[in-house]
Structure formats: C-alpha cells, structure tokens
C-alpha cells in the first residue's frame, strides 16, 4: 500500500476567509475542493514542503505557519498522513498557478462533502473555532 505524507496550507485572511482550490479532473479525488498543498519529499520537513508547495501551487510565500492539526487517513489504495498548517501571514496574492480554479470562501460556507473525506475533521474544527 502506498504511504504518503502531505503538507496542507489553510490560508486564512483577516476576514477569516479561506483560500481553496479545486482538484484536477484527472487527479485522485477529482474535482473536489481542497486546501492547497502536496507531497512531502524525502529530504523535507513538513513545514519546508508547505512553503515549497504553496509557492508552486498558489504563488505565495508564507511568513509564518502554525501546525493546526495532523491526521491519518486510509484509502483502499493508500495511507496518508496530513499535516495541516494555518497560514495567516504571507507574501503575494494566492491564485491557481497550475491552472486550477481558486477562490476565497467564508469559513461558515465550508462543506465537508465538497472536500476529500480526510478533510472532514479539519473543516469541523475550523467551523467550530469561528
């Protein structure tokens, strides 16, 4: 079974909106919404991977990131460990640098069913924190 470590950025602005993107039609969990991020390489820490992935995917450089949660999730074909980082200070304006749609959404509008199932506890934690 494939084992993956993933760094995820919860990019939250001063209005407490979250920047989300949409997964590609040919990706695992196609067309679902997601918090930007990606695989942690063998020579990276989760925080280093977060910085690299946010630069590659949404064109921002985080100034600080706080570990929001870490969880594990098993799909039939893979086991993933997700490192969720809260990013509230960054340089640049996030956008879908890889052609993926992206937008700001109010925390109250986050719906777990729109995201991959591993995100459900994180969405609940974000919504309950407001």
CA distances from 114 to 29, 31, 100 (A): 10, 9, 16
What pLDDT shows up at residue 56? 97
Which residues in the chain show pLDDT less than 70?
Answer: 130
What pLDDT shows up at residue 130? 66
How many CA atoms, within 13 angstroms, populate the side-chain half-sphere of residue 57? 26
What pLDDT shows up at residue 110? 96
Residue 106, φ and ψ in degrees, nearest 5: -65, 145
What pLDDT shows up at residue 41? 97
What pLDDT shows up at residue 32? 94
Burial 82-112 (b: 16+ CB within 10 A, else e): bbbbbbeebeeebbbbeebebeeeebeebee
What pLDDT shows up at residue 26? 84
């Amino acid at each position: 079974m494939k084992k993956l470590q993933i760094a995820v950025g919860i990019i939250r602005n001063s209005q407490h909106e979250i920047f989300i993107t949409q997964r590609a039609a040919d990706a695992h969990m196609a067309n679902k919404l997601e918090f930007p991020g990606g695989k942690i390489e063998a020579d990276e820490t989760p925080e280093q991977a977060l910085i690299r992935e946010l630069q590659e995917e949404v064109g921002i450089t985080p100034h600080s990131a706080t570990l929001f949660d870490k969880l594990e999730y098993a799909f039939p074909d893979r086991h993933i460990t997700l490192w969720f980082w809260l990013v509230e200070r960054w340089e640049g304006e996030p956008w879908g640098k890889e052609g993926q749609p992206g937008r700001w959404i109010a925390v109250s509008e986050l719906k777990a069913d729109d995201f991959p199932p591993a995100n459900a506890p994180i969405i609940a934690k974000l919504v309950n924190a407001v």
